[in-house]
Amino acid sequence: MFVIKEGEKPCYSKNSVVTVGTFDGIHLGHKKIISDLLEIKNRKNLRSVVVTFEPHPQLILKNKHQAIKLLSTTEEKLEEFKKIGVDLVYILNFTREFAEISAEDFFRNYLIEKIGLTDIVLGYDHNFGKNREGNFESLKGFGEKYGFGVHKVDEFKINGDRVNSTTIRNFLAEGNVSKASFLLGNNYYFSGKVVSGDRRGSTIGFPTANIEPLSEHKLIPKNGVYFVEAEVKGMKFHGMMNIGNRPTIAENKEVFIEVNLFGFEDDIYGETVKIEFIEFLRDERKFSSLEELTSQLKKDKETCMGLIKKQH
């Protein structure tokens, strides 16, 4: 897979089938769009191209208090596109000036002149251009005017839930990681660096690694205790993770992310860890003593062990 960023010389080819979007999370709805893209590519012997944006438009158009948290970083999206089998990803630099470009100018100046296309595949509700003025009807008009085929992917629902990034963000905000992962088509995850902590967990028999997310924009699910799978140094381990203020230890406003990995005792300070969420166990709560907290952690681990048995 080739990756080209705006400003680099694009590889023009008229024989391309293109899709455009932010693709946050690359959920099952996005995967349906890309599946249709690849079907047309194979049937017509074309090059498959995904055009996306960096940073996410919402991070530019909204102030920092209104801006959404992201389901996937650019690096995570590229990893997924490569896995799926896309030929070329063209990353456009999204700025306030870029947001002022009209829908037609965007298609003509970028897709037609810089990339080239015979076909385009877009979701039914995709809007583009200044003030989101472009829609599927205007796209059909551009297709007739500039000579390319237009293909629509209809709304995608599973068990009555609309498969889109907003629905998934809402599930994660509720702690419903299993439903979010179902709509994504894979476990929701984030990557972080192991940073120093107070090693309090070691004193009660549950040593933890303190994780600092690599991206400040990545969405972290609601506070609570989760059953997780962690990848570190190329190895995978099950564990349980707490996201929260650690109210039993001290009064904190800061949110800590701590993971206890089962059967793993290496010092991984400074290492990068990938954490996949499997199941929400319980809300974080304040215990009357460290003994009561320890007793609950033992129960949490037993629950995790039961879930591991179910997986096998």
Return d(Cα 81, Cα 215) in angstroms, integer.
20
Report cis status (omega within 30 of 0) of the bond before 207: no
Burial label for 155, CB within 10 Å (0-12, 13-18, 19+), is exposed
- Compute how many other C-beta atoms are within 10 angstroms of the C-beta atom of residue 272: 14
From the list 159, 161, 139, the residue with the least C-alpha distance to 150 is 139
- Compute how many other C-beta atoms are within 10 angstroms of the C-beta atom of residue 235: 10
Residue 256: phi and psi, rounded to 5, are: -110, 145
Please give, one letter per residue, the 3-state secondary structure of 121-187. Answer: EEECCCCECHHHCECHHHHHHHHHHHCCEEEEECCCEECCEECCHHHHHHHHHCCCHHHHHHHHCCC
**Residues 258, 271, 276, 292: which is the catalytic one?**
258
Instruction: For residue 258, indicate whether it is catalytic.
Output: yes
Tokens 């894979």 -> residue: 186
Q: Is 189 helix (H, G, I), strand (E, B) or coil?
A: strand
Catalytic residues: 258
